[in-house]
Structure 1
Amino acid sequence: MTSNEALCRALRDPGDPPVRPLPREVAELLLTLTAPPRLAAHLRLVHDVAYDLADWLSGHCPELPFDRGAVLFGAATHDVGKAVHTGELTGPGSAHEPAGRDLLVAHGFGAERARFAATHASWAQARVSLEELLVSTADKVWKGKRVPELEDLLIGRIAGAGGVERWEAYLALDELLGRIAEGAQGRLAFQAAHPV
């Protein structure tokens, strides 16, 4: 199988359980970049989890406004810089963050949309948006990782907007994230099925 065929497979593999496809503009960008198939699979998984988070937040706390489209685009592109820094697909590193933002801008995506590539690991910064918190959360919980400090920031936003106690917001979010985390093994297997 050629690398292009492997990438197409990563973009179209239905998954079991099913994994939502990436937005068309993101899939086309990955094809243009001849991105590693593993990257495409990873972006699909984080996008899929972000979709569930956005659905839940819209239903659970409708009084908390957020840009759903920005969250989904951010999740779908957060690691796109790993198309340039491929060593960070299997090892540590943060060079992909500014590289991803720059790559998206160079391909015609505005800075506002491209920011997630640079900010998805910077959720502890003072002015982090709700959209950035959601992308960061999706990027952790897709593999079953729970980050209490990150979740606490999200809980604060939910409690404040919904007029509920923090413990109530915690219980609701914890239930959702626990349910998502339970599917981590299947998502990790899906990602591993696609070559670096």
Structure 2
Amino acid sequence: MKTMVLHIKVTMRSLPWFAALPTFSEYAVERGWTKCFSRISEVGWFAYLVYIMAYIAVVEFLTYWAHRKLHDIKPLYKYLHAQHHSYNKQHKISPFAGLALHPLDGIAQGGPHEIAIFLVPTHFTTHLTVVFLGAIWSANIHDCIDEKMWPLMGGGYHVIHHMSNRHNYGLYTIWMDWMFGTLSHPVSNPTKPN
């Protein structure tokens, strides 16, 4: 319980900084700097679905590399990402740990959503929905439920990340970890009933 209270305190301290990202994206969209569109009818349903897949792929790729570099570059890990990984024991990870990040760490890992709207035509409401669901997903992958949700980056995969610091950097899926050789699958628990 004490650990969860700490997670909540760290999250609440960082949330105003995290809120800057969607605020910036709204401003950028209104200024016409992004590739966002407001109506699906502007591009048609087929293009809309292709753009969603491209948007998610860009977010996955950029998030994977941002997260991996937060581990690989020692000063970034020490001063930014280590705070999140101070909850590395499985019994200390909680859904509240998902957003218990240094503000700059949160911006580095949330930034790919914002960068993607400059690269891929994106329905703006869909973008905001994916950002919102990303926060929920972050809580989900820190819930210590060790189910193997292939190809999704579920809690079972992410607990391995917290235990090893060398595997499973992805956000929504395991594809980037698979492509770049950092994937580690959860092992089925033989004592758990099927």
Q: Provide TM-score, normalisation by structure 1.
A: 0.30
Pick the structure with greater CA Rg: 2
